[in-house]
Structure 1
Amino acid sequence: MGRKKLERFRQNEANPHVVQAGKALFDSIRGNWNKLQFQNNKPLVVELACGRGEFTVGLARQYPDRNFVGVDIKGSRIWKGSSQAYSEGLDNAAFLRTQIEQLDKFFAEGEIDELWITFPDPRPREGEEKKRLTAPRFLETYRQLLSKGGRIHFKTDNTGLFHYTTELLASMEQIRIERKTEDFYRSPWKDEHHGIMTRYEKMFMEKGETIKYLEFGFTAD
Structure 2
Amino acid sequence: MSRKKLVRFAENEVNPNVIQAGKPIFETIKGHWNDSQFQNENPIVVELACGRGEFTVGLGREYPGQNFIGVDIKGSRIWKGSSTATAEAITNVAFLRTQIQQLSEFFGDGEISELWITFPDPFPRDGDEKRRLTSPKFLEMYKPMLKTGGIVHFKTDNTGLFDYSLELVQSRSDIEVLAFTHDFYQSEMKDDHHGIKTKYEKLFSDKGEKIKYLKFRFV
Name the TM-score, length of structure 2 as normaliser.
Answer: 0.99
What code does the residue aligned with 1:204 have? Answer: F
Task: Give the SS at the match of 2:126.
Answer: coil
Task: Give the SS at the match of 2:137.
Answer: helix
What code does the residue aligned with 2:76 have? Answer: S
Structure 2 matches for 1:30-49, cutoff 5 A? 30-49=30-49
What code does the residue aligned with 2:72 have? Answer: D
What code does the residue aligned with 1:27 have? Answer: E
- 1:79 aligns with 79
Task: Give the SS at the match of 2:197.
Answer: coil
Task: Give the SS at the match of 1:127.
Answer: helix
Q: Percent identity between the aligned chains?
A: 65
Q: CA deviation at 1:24?
A: 1.2
- 1:119 aligns with 119
* Alpha-carbon distance in structure 1 between the residues aligned to 2:125 and 2:11: 37
* Alpha-carbon distance in structure 2 between the residues aligned to 1:86 and 1:206: 29
Q: CA deviation at 1:169?
A: 0.7
- 2:177 aligns with 177
- 1:24 aligns with 24
Give the unaligned 5+ runs of structure 1.
none
Post-superposition Cα deviations, 1:176-217, rounded to whole Å, max 9, x if no partner, equal 000100000111110110000000001001111000000000
Post-superposition Cα deviations, 1:21-72, rounded to whole Å, max 9, x if no partner, equal 0011100000000000000000000000000000000000000000000000
RMSD value, Cα: 0.5
Post-superposition Cα deviations, 1:101-145, rounded to whole Å, max 9, x if no partner, equal 000000001000000000000001230000000000100111110
What code does the residue aligned with 2:63 have? Answer: Y
Post-superposition Cα deviations, 1:143-197, rounded to whole Å, max 9, x if no partner, equal 1100011000000000000000001111111010001000001111101100000
- 1:14 aligns with 14
For these two proteins, the number of residue pairs brought into alignment is 219
What code does the residue aligned with 1:8 have? Answer: R
Give the unaligned 5+ runs of structure 2.
none
* Alpha-carbon distance in structure 1 between the residues aligned to 2:138 and 2:145: 11
Name the TM-score, length of structure 1 as normaliser.
Answer: 0.98
* Alpha-carbon distance in structure 2 between the residues aligned to 1:8 and 1:97: 13
- 2:108 aligns with 108
* Alpha-carbon distance in structure 1 between the residues aligned to 2:168 and 2:179: 15
* Alpha-carbon distance in structure 2 between the residues aligned to 1:139 and 1:53: 23
* Alpha-carbon distance in structure 1 between the residues aligned to 2:30 and 2:63: 23
